[in-house]
Amino acid sequence: MSHQVSTGPAKREVSSGPATPYSAPVVELLLALKVAGLDQLLALDDFAHVDSDAISSVLEEFGRLANGVLASSDRVGDVIGAQYDPATGTITTPDEFHRAFSHFVDGGWSALAHPREFGGGELPTVVSLALQEMFASANMALSLNPVLTQGAIEALLQWGNDQQKDIYLARLLTSEWSGTMNLTEPDAGSDLNEIRAMAHQADDGTWRVSGTKIFITWGEHDLAQNIIHLVLARTPDSPPGTKGLSLFVVPKFLVNPDGTLGERNTFRAIGMEHKLGIHGSSTCVMQFDDATGELVGPRHGGMRAMFTMMNAARLSIGVQGPAVGERAFQHAFEYASGRLQGRTGNVKPPERSPLVDHPDVQRMLLLMSTMTRASRLLLFLAGGQKDHAMHLEPGPARERAQQMVDLLTPVAKAWSTDRGVDSSSLGIQVLGGAGFIEEYGMAQRLRDVRIAPIYEGTNGIQAIDLVFRKLPRDGGKWVRLLMDEVEESLAKSGGVDLSTATSVVSEAIMHLRDSTEWMLKTVESAPDDALAGATNYLELFGSAIGGWLMIERARLASAEGHSDAERIALESDFFAVDVVARSSGLVRSITAGAHRLAAHAPQG
């Protein structure tokens, strides 16, 4: 497989076209965090150092950073992008990225969710997801840098030895150094069995890693002093397949025992991909040539260690769905409020109505806003369960939390990123011809978010993971428990009329239950039939659980006397009728089997 060596988008002046607005939705984020169980989390001993007022302050302060220097650097990154020098293998980023990232690093934002023993703030994971959403809304390309670094931190926290933690963690936590994942190769994408990179142990106990890795996000750049690569490779004695993979930490600059930087390691970026979107993020082809590295975790235990990074990253990538959806909605709403076209109601010539007064535009805007809210709630629910699994005392409650985060993660990643694509496409539709013109900025939303359903495990892979790994655990015990709990919740009465939404979502849960039982049987008896329905099953799962969470959001807003409680209840009804009710029709395709796909199979 060959790769075009690109210098990135052509360098040109950034247009002074209409600004694309962003205002961090702090009030909405706090409400979503409460629906996800933030108050219960803060009652745990591990979070005794923080309270709800502190969380509010953190979100408000980061919101100001996102609204300002982070968001203002977004368009420059898209138009100018990262620049690759093939002579040196180096990549430079726009000056605006340097200023924005310096504010992020100087504020200590990247360390907030990590253990205090390594210099972190040890806030709940779900709070860090809220911060990641604001960052990705403001500048998705730049936000990927700390997301990848976070994955490297989690891998080293769980699998690194004491020396590796001492050398790498403190500087990774501050984002003075950045981290990457190196999995994919020219002949090994979703199928990691085909990885060919090799590592040989040297006489001094370190390892020498050789091979080519592709699609490496932020694999080379000039924002950090050092780049710490986590690389999957084989050893000479490794068995075939993924069981033979090991994980190695391979720094761009070797690190001396005292933490200072030593000589340049023997690898480089030999190309940078020219992409549809996220132009400010360098996506590299990395060539390792006997590069010095260290084994992380056990030999041939690389897949387990790598999944520590990937599972953390899947929620972070999932957050890009509501992140981009939120910014697209804000932009579309502002445009529709000011653009005069046609007449509605009793408006007479020469007066004209703003687009926002037209029913079909209202429908599109409501779809954008409610899909964004529902996907945010789903991701925060998974993040909150992850916190409980990490911080509860060992026992049944902790086991339940771990099983729930495992079950919800593929749904949250896939369903939420698909909704981000839908919202961005609708945003273009609301702007009409202006949406199709780059200078208006909405096209960037769609171009940027389109990668989210692909990387960190395609959404099709997420559906397979859900159906073949997560549903069958303990004979389907955990998915049945979730549906039981949702039905019990829906049966409760609240202080606000949600009868329409409750009726629709209850029906969707019934369809989900029936489809689940079919899947649990079919995974064993006819796996191809289960595979053929897996993506639509995940769609039904996400819509049904999202609809329930929208009801929970409305109930909480009413109980707390939220100033927008009536609007929030109406949003719950709209989402149920216009999204959840439609998804219930997926049952037929979920259970239709694989034979219907044979029409496009290769003919012998």
The residues annotated with a catalytic role in the active site are 456
Distance CA 554, CA 300 (A): 49
Q: Cis link prior to 350 (omega < 30° from 0)?
A: yes
Nearest one of 445, 441, 148 to 277, comparing CA atoms = 445
Q: DSSP characters for 104-149?
A: HHHTTGGGTTS-GGGT-----HHHHHHHHHHHHHH-HHHHHHHHHH
Nearest one of 472, 422, 421 to 450, comparing CA atoms = 421
Q: Using the structure block, give the residue that is written with the tokens 């999932």.
A: 318
Instruction: Tell me how far the alpha carbon of residue 278 is from its chain's centroid.
Output: 14
Distance CA 387, CA 448 (A): 29
Beta bridge partners of 271: 285
- Measure the CA dihedral 259/272/212/180, to 10°: 40
Beta strands in 383-533 (DSSP E): none
Quick one: tokens of 202? 């040297």
Q: Using the structure block, give the residue that is written with the tokens 């142990």.
A: 201
CA distances from 492 to 489, 551, 554 (A): 6, 11, 13
For helices 26-35 and 125-138, give the axis angle rounded to 10 degrees.
150
- For the chain, the straight-line distance linking the first and the last C-alpha, in angstroms and rounded, comes to 27
Question: Count of alpha carbons within 13 Å of 169, Cβ hemisphere only?
Answer: 21
Nearest one of 284, 194, 207 to 249, comparing CA atoms = 207
Distance CA 139, CA 66 (A): 8
Distance CA 577, CA 571 (A): 10
Instruction: Classify residue 286 by its DSSP letter.
Output: E
Helix then strand count (H, E) for the chain reads 22, 11
Distance CA 435, CA 276 (A): 16
Question: Any idea what the Cα angle at residue 11 is, between residues 10 and 17, rounded to 5°?
Answer: 105
CA distances from 578 to 363, 500, 574, 575 (A): 9, 12, 6, 5
Q: Using the structure block, give the residue that is written with the tokens 């040297």.
A: 202
Residue 141 in contact with residue 279, Cβ under 8 Å?
A: yes
Main-chain dihedrals φ then ψ at residue 503, nearest 5 degrees? -65, -45
Q: DSSP characters for 504-568?
A: HHHHHHHHHHHHHHHHHHHHHH-HHHHHHHHHHHHHHHHHHHHHHHHHHHHHHHHHTT-TTHHHH
Residue 266 in contact with residue 290, Cβ under 8 Å?
A: yes
Helix (H) or strand (E) holding 41: helix 38-42
Quick one: tokens of 301? 């235990």
